[in-house]
Amino acid sequence: MRYAIVVEQAGNNYSAYVPDLPGCIATGSTIEETEREIREAIELHIEGMMEDGLPIPQPTSIVQYIEVPA
């Protein structure tokens, strides 16, 4: 599956979350580290949901950029 993630700068580090998997978050000191951590968090999140017999949400979020005059 392919899930959209949101990466945000959070002071001196970065944080990420998955809109389609509420509660699935990760942090890291670089964007690359944060992406590695969120990938692992997604895998563990889905694994935990499966163990609990919960349905796995299908990816539905769409990521796009909108340009506006600054």
pLDDT, position 29: 98
pLDDT tens, residue by residue, 14-55: 999 999 999 999 999 999 999 999 999 999 999 999 999 999
pLDDT, position 19: 97
pLDDT, position 20: 97
In terms of CATH architecture, what is 6-51? 2-Layer Sandwich (3.30)
- Tally of CB atoms within 10 A around 35: 16
The structure tokens listed for 61 are 């979020």
Ranges of each domain in the chain: 6-51
Give the confidence band of 70 by pLDDT, cuts at 50, 70, 90.
Answer: confident
pTM of the predicted model as reported, rounded to 2 decimal places: 0.89
CA distance 44 to 48: 6
